[in-house]
Structure 1
Amino acid sequence: MHSAAAKNISSQGGPVSAAMSEVKVLIAAGGTGGHVYPAIAIADALRETYDDTDILFVGTKDHMEWETVPKAGYNITSIWISGFHRRLTVKNLIFPVKLVTSLVQSLRILNRFKPDVVISCGGYAAGPIGWVATQKGIPLVVQEQNSYPGVTNRILGKNAEYIFTAFKEADHYFPIEKTKLAGNPTRKSLTAIDQQQAYKNFGFSQNKKTLLVLGGSGGAKSINEAMLHNIEKLHDEMGLQIIWQCGKRYYDQLRSDIRPQAYDQLLLKDFIHDMPAAYEVADIVVSRAGALSCAELALTGNASILVPSPNVAGDHQTKNAQSMVQEGAAKMAPDNELKDMLPSLIGKVIHDKNKLKQMNNAAKSLARPEAAKTIANKVFELAKQHNP
C-alpha cells in the first residue's frame, strides 16, 4: 500500500483525505465499445487521481471487454448473463437460469472483492452486479452514455447514489436530484499522438485528404454497402486516402468483393487498434452516431458525417447526431440514403478548408475532457463515506 498522500483533485469532489487508505472500485460494463471504453476512461481517471486504487472489472467472456480490459491494464472477472430477446427464442428459455446464476456469481464477487463503490456503465453484466451491490448497501454510481438510457441503467438508477449523463435528454429517465450532466468519459490517449508519426503509421501522405470510415466495433452493414458502391469514386476520382473499418463479420466478404490490393490508398481493416493515429490523420470521419463516437469526435475535433443506426432503442443515435449537427460539427445522412448521398456529402466538405476548420472548432466546443475526472471525484467522495 502506498504511503503517499492522495493527489489533489478538482473542486467537484473536493480533495481526497491524506489519510485515506486503499480504495476498491468495481466497474461493471460490457457488450460494446460504447460501454467498455467509457468504463476504462473512468478507471484511468481513478488511478491518476489516487495511486492506491484497486480496480476490478466485471463483464462477460463472449464480448469485447474480455480482451479490451486486460489490454488496458486492468483485471476482469466474468458472470454468465446475456440479453433478453423480445421474441421467443431458445436463448430466452435459459435466460432465467442465467439470471439466477449471475446473481449468485455477483454475490460471490462482491463478497470476495469487497468494493467501496460499484460503477455501472451499462451492458448485460452491470444489471446483476449493480442490483446485488445495492442490496448489500454498497454505494452505486451509474454512468449513462446515451440520450435514451439502456434498460439496465434505468433500473439501477432508482437505487444509485449518483447518475452521470452525457446528454441532457437522458435526465428525464432518472431521479433528477441524483443526476448530473458530465459528458462521456473518453480516453486521453486519443489526442496523445504526433501528427507526422500518425501518417507514417498508416503509410499515408500529409499532402492528401484522408477519409476515416467507422461502423462501430461490430461494423455497420449500410455504411459498408455505401462504401462498396462508391469506392472507385472516392478513391480514384476524388483521390482520397481511405481507412475503412468494416467489422469482423464483413471483412472477409469485402476483401473478396473489392480486392483492396487494387487500391493503393485504401486500408481495409476489421478493427482499428491505433485510433489516436486514425483520428489524427482523418480530414473527415463517416461514423455511426453512438454516444462514444460523438464524444470521441468532439474530443479529437474531427469533422464528421454521422449515420444514425435505425436499430437502437429510442432512436437515440438520431438525437445524438442532431446535437452535433445543430452545433455545426457534423452533417447527418439517413441510413437508407447513404449509398446515394455519400460522395456528395464528402465532396462538399473535404476540399473546403474553411468549412473543415469551422466543423473542427464546433466539434471541439462540444468536448467534455473532464468527464472521467468529474466521475472519479464523486467515486472517491462515496468511498470516504463508505470506508472512512
Structure 2
Amino acid sequence: MADPIRIMIAAGGTGGHVFPAIAIADAIREEQPGAAILFVGTRDRMEWKAVPQAGYEIAAIWISGFHRRLTLKNLLFPLKLLVSMWQSRHLVRSFRPDAMISCGGFASGPAGWVAARYGIPLFLQEQNSYPGVTNRKLASSAQLIFTAFEDAAKWFPEQKVRHEGNPVRKSLVSDVRDPEVRSEAFNHFGFDPGRPVLLVMGGSGGAKSINEAMFRHLETLHDSLGFQIIWQCGKHYLADVKERRNSSGNTPADYPDLRLYDFMDDVSKAWAAADLVVSRAGATTCAELMATGKAGILVPSPWVAGDHQTHNARALSDRGAAVLIKDEDLDEQLADTLSELIGDSSRRNEIEKKAAAMARPDAAASIARQILDHITKASARKKKPGNHNQTRTTTA
C-alpha cells in the first residue's frame, strides 16, 4: 500500500490567513481521506485555537511580525527568526512532507523558505489584492501561486499564477442560500423573518472605528430603520461596548433586537440571516461576501500593511459588488448609506448579483486538486526506470 500523502500548511496571525488554509486542508481530505496534514503556526495567535477546532494537528514555531516602526519587540526579531528557521528545519525533517502550502502570515516565511531549501514543492495561496511580503518573498521558490484577486497577479511570476479565488468553508457556500438554513438562522438569533438583518463585523480583532460608528447610530439603526442587528465587536472591545451601553442609561432590554458578540467561531448562521453587511475588507470577509452573495459596505482598515484592505475593497466596489466607505468617513455616512440600501431593493439586488458573480465557490477544491496532481506527477517521475531518487528528500 502506498504511503499516505503528507501535506504541511503554514498560516497564521489572522483569520484571513488561517480560514482559507483550513478550507484547503478540508478539500485535500475530501480528495485524499488518508492524507496526513500538519499545520505550522504560532502559539499566541488565533491559529492555535482554530486549527485544532477544525480537526487538524498544529506545531508551533517562535516567530512574530516585524513592526514597521521602531519598537523594543523588534530587537527580538532576529533571534526569533533564527530559532523559527531551526524549528522549521526540524519539522520538515521529521514530518517529511510531499508539499508545503504557504497561506501567508508570520509562520509562512520560515517554514516556506526551509521547505523550499529541502526540495519540498512549495505552493502559495495569496488572499489579498495586494500580496503580503511573505508570499512575495517566497514567490521565486514556488511551484504554483493561487491568487484570490486578479489584481494580485502583477506581483508574481506570470507563468506560476493561477487565479482561483479565496477558499471559503464549504458549508458557508452550500448552506446560506438554502431557505431552511435561513429560517434556522432566524430561529437561532430569535429574529423576525419579516424584518431586515444587519451583520456588523470588525475582523477577528474588532475595529474601533466601526464600533464607534455603531454606538453613534445604534438607536437610529435599531429603532428608526428597524434593523435586527448581529454585532461582532471583537474580544478586545466587548467589555467596553457593554460598559458604555449601560453607562448611557441603556440596558439589553432597550435593544431587544441586538445580538452582541466578541467573536463568532461559526459565522455561517450570521451570514445566512444577514440582508446587509458592514465589515472590514479583510480577504476572508470579502471572499465570504462574494460566496454568500450579500450586499456589503466595506470599511478598509487604514492600519494594515500595504493598505491591502483598500485594494481588496476596491476590487469589489469598482465592479459594483460592494459599497466602499473610507474609515474616516464612516461615522458620517454609515446610517445614511444603510438607509439608502435597505430602502432601494433594486440597487441592493444588483450589488448582490455582482458580488455572487465574482465568487469562486470551488476555489478550495480546485487548489487541492492541482496540488495533489503535482504531487502525483512528481512521484511518478521519481519512480521511472533509471531514477534512483525514490525517497523523500530530507537533507539539505
Q: TM-score, normalised by structure 2?
A: 0.91
1:75 is aligned, of 35, 38, 57, to 57
State how 1:41-56 maps to structure 2 within 5 Å. 41-56=23-38
Larger deviation, residues 154-163 vs 314-323: 314-323
Is 1:168 equivalent to 2:150 in the alignment?
Answer: yes
Structure 2 distance, partners of 1:296, 1:25, is 25
Contact in 2 for aligned 1:116/1:386 (Cα 8 Å): no
1:199 is aligned, of 172, 182, 186, to 186
Is 1:356 equivalent to 2:348 in the alignment?
Answer: yes
Which residue type is aligned with residue 290 of structure 2?
A
Contact in 2 for aligned 1:139/1:386 (Cα 8 Å): no
**3-state secondary structure, aligned to 1:94:** helix
**3-state secondary structure, aligned to 1:368:** coil
Contact in 1 for aligned 2:281/2:309 (Cα 8 Å): yes
Structure 1 distance, partners of 2:32, 2:341, is 44
Is 1:243 equivalent to 2:220 in the alignment?
Answer: no
Instruction: Quote the RMSD (CA, aligned, Å).
Output: 1.3
Which residue type is aligned with residue 51 of structure 2?
V
Structure 1 distance, partners of 2:349, 2:133, is 38
2:289 is aligned, of 297, 305, 315, to 297
Gaps of 5+ in 1: 4-19
Is 1:311 equivalent to 2:293 in the alignment?
Answer: no
Which residue type is aligned with residue 326 of structure 1?
D
* Structure 2 equivalent of residue 9 of structure 1: none
**3-state secondary structure, aligned to 1:249:** coil
Structure 2 distance, partners of 1:183, 1:53, is 24
Which residue type is aligned with residue 162 of structure 2?
K
Structure 1 distance, partners of 2:19, 2:333, is 31
Which residue type is aligned with residue 307 of structure 1?
V
* Structure 2 equivalent of residue 101 of structure 1: 83
Is 1:322 equivalent to 2:314 in the alignment?
Answer: yes
**3-state secondary structure, aligned to 1:296:** helix
* Structure 2 equivalent of residue 224 of structure 1: 211
* Structure 2 equivalent of residue 333 of structure 1: 325
Larger deviation, residues 160-169 vs 307-316: 307-316
Displacement of 1:41 in angstroms is: 0.5
Structure 1 distance, partners of 2:69, 2:226, is 46
Is 1:60 equivalent to 2:42 in the alignment?
Answer: yes
Q: How many residues align?
A: 370
* Structure 1 equivalent of residue 18 of structure 2: 36
Is 1:141 equivalent to 2:126 in the alignment?
Answer: no
Is 1:277 equivalent to 2:269 in the alignment?
Answer: yes
Which residue type is aligned with residue 117 of structure 1?
A
**3-state secondary structure, aligned to 1:158:** helix
* Structure 2 equivalent of residue 10 of structure 1: none
Larger deviation, residues 309-318 vs 282-291: 309-318
Q: Which runs of 4+ in 1 moved over 3 A?
A: 385-388
Displacement of 1:199 in angstroms is: 0.6
Structure 1 distance, partners of 2:134, 2:261, is 32
**3-state secondary structure, aligned to 1:248:** coil
Structure 2 distance, partners of 1:360, 1:88, is 43
User: 1:130-185, CA deviations, whole angstroms, 9 ceiling, x for partnerless residues?
Assistant: 00001100000000011111111111111111111111221111111111111111
Structure 1 distance, partners of 2:70, 2:302, is 22
**3-state secondary structure, aligned to 2:38:** strand
Which residue type is aligned with residue 354 of structure 1?
S
Is 1:214 equivalent to 2:206 in the alignment?
Answer: no
Structure 2 distance, partners of 1:141, 1:78, is 20
**3-state secondary structure, aligned to 2:141:** coil
User: 1:360-379, CA deviations, whole angstroms, 9 ceiling, x for partnerless residues?
Assistant: 21111110011111211121
Contact in 2 for aligned 1:285/1:304 (Cα 8 Å): yes
Structure 1 distance, partners of 2:189, 2:139, is 43
1:110 is aligned, of 92, 96, 106, to 92
Structure 1 distance, partners of 2:238, 2:223, is 21
State how 1:82-93 maps to structure 2 within 5 Å. 82-93=64-75
User: 1:226-258, CA deviations, whole angstroms, 9 ceiling, x for partnerless residues?
Assistant: 001111111111111000001011110010111
* Structure 1 equivalent of residue 387 of structure 2: none
Is 1:375 equivalent to 2:367 in the alignment?
Answer: yes
Structure 1 distance, partners of 2:281, 2:83, is 34
Structure 1 distance, partners of 2:213, 2:306, is 25
User: 1:16-49, CA deviations, whole angstroms, 9 ceiling, x for partnerless residues?
Assistant: xxxx641000000000000000000100110111
Structure 1 distance, partners of 2:310, 2:77, is 31
Larger deviation, residues 85-94 vs 248-257: 85-94
User: 1:288-342, CA deviations, whole angstroms, 9 ceiling, x for partnerless residues?
Assistant: 1112111100000110111111112332222221221233221111100101100
Structure 2 distance, partners of 1:307, 1:176, is 31
Which residue type is aligned with residue 219 of structure 2?
E
Structure 2 distance, partners of 1:159, 1:137, is 10
User: 1:35-79, CA deviations, whole angstroms, 9 ceiling, x for partnerless residues?
Assistant: 000000100110111222111101000000000011111111110
2:242 is aligned, of 255, 260, 269, to 255
Which residue type is aligned with residue 212 of structure 1?
L
Structure 2 distance, partners of 1:122, 1:315, is 16
